[in-house]
């Protein structure tokens, strides 16, 4: 296995890497940037702006023109060709310390996204929760009581949705019903023993879940029973998210943080994008949204 820096990009809050159109896409959430990188050289091949703070995004349709985008408290559509931004839905909760965070497109074309509610009093329940925007542009609340939603992803073996609550240091697992609602919530794994909350997540084709241990500078892989199978130390203090990509979906790309507003680090690679090769695992491309935009 080899881990190297991809290009010279330095992000404040690198997040949400997505493999699409033979390129690596990611966000700098604090800067309001959506970027595409050449997966071999790391050169920035596309740069788009949106109002920060950004939470996550997913491509809409099979092309490169449009994305579904999580802004502070609303889900929007951004036309990457024209720059036009249009609100699709808004969550019911609002607070200076609440914003939409990580999200993913599902196989049915919908978009699932969760919130983060920080700087809460010890006995203050978190606002927001986990939401699903369906392909008719109807917004549904799927769960609540989650402090910092990260890493939603679907196990390719059993079809269960996995969602991390970084604040609680736990990854939950849900069954997805045919109407898009969730049931049978279970604790998949707790990461307290690894001294970090789980951040971004991705599954490999064997059903192994990979997560960024954002506070300990490492990646962890868990098998389908929630047992730790791999821990990989990284040359960054705060890895944030990851995705598989490359021509054979065998490379793992990792974003990182130099200054998120809550976490900061000043090492030579903090804020960089990393590329890990030779892992011996493969991933799969994410589905795209199918919104009528």
* Residues 96/277, Cβ–Cβ less than 8 Å: no
CA distances from 102 to 105, 108, 169 (A): 11, 18, 16
Closest by CA to 79, choosing from 50, 99, 56, 55, is 50
Q: Which residues contact 234 (CB under 8 A, 6 or more apart)?
A: 3, 217, 218, 219, 254, 256, 274
> Is 199 marked active-site?
yes
**Which tokens is 268 given?**
């030579």
State the catalytic residue, choosing from 134, 199, 204, 251: 199
Secondary structure of residue 141 in the 3-state scheme: strand
Give 60's Cβ-side CA count (13 Å radius). Answer: 23
Backbone phi and psi for residue 85, each to the nearest 5 degrees, phi listed first? -120, 130
Q: Give the span between the Cα atoms of 175 and 96, in whole angstroms.
A: 32
**Which tokens is 136 given?**
């008719």
**Which tokens is 221 given?**
């892989």
* Residues 24/17, Cβ–Cβ less than 8 Å: yes
Return the active site residues. 199
């Amino acid at each position: 296995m080899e881990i190297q820096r991809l290009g010279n990009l330095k992000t404040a809050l690198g997040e949400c890497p997505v493999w699409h159109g033979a390129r690596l896409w990611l966000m700098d959430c604090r800067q309001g940037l959506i970027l595409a990188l050449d997966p071999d050289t790391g050169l920035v091949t596309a740069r788009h702006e949106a109002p920060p703070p950004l939470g996550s995004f997913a491509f809409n349709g099979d092309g490169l023109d449009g994305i579904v985008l999580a802004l502070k408290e609303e889900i929007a559509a951004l036309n990457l060709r024209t720059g036009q931004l249009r609100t699709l839905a808004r969550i019911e909760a609002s607070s200076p310390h609440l914003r939409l965070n990580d999200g993913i497109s599902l196989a049915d074309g919908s978009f699932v996204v969760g919130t983060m509610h920080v700087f809460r009093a010890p006995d203050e329940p978190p606002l927001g929760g986990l939401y699903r925007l369906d392909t008719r542009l109807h917004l549904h609340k799927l769960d609540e009581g989650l402090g910092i939603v990260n890493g939603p992803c679907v196990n390719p073996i059993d079809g269960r949705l996995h969602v991390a609550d970084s604040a609680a240091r736990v990854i939950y697992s849900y069954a997805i019903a045919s109407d898009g609602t969730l049931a049978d919530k279970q604790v998949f794994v707790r990461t307290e023993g690894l001294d970090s909350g789980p951040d971004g997540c991705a599954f490999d084709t064997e059903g192994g879940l990979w997560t960024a241990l954002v506070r300990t500078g490492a990646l962890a892989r868990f098998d389908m029973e929630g047992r730790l199978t791999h821990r990989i130390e990284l040359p960054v203090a705060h890895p944030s998210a990851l995705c598989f990509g490359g021509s054979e979906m065998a490379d793992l790309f990792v974003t990182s943080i130099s200054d998120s507003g809550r976490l900061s680090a000043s090492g030579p690679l903090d804020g960089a994008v990393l590329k890990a090769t030779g892992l011996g695992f493969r991933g799969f491309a994410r589905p795209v949204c199918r919104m009528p935009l």
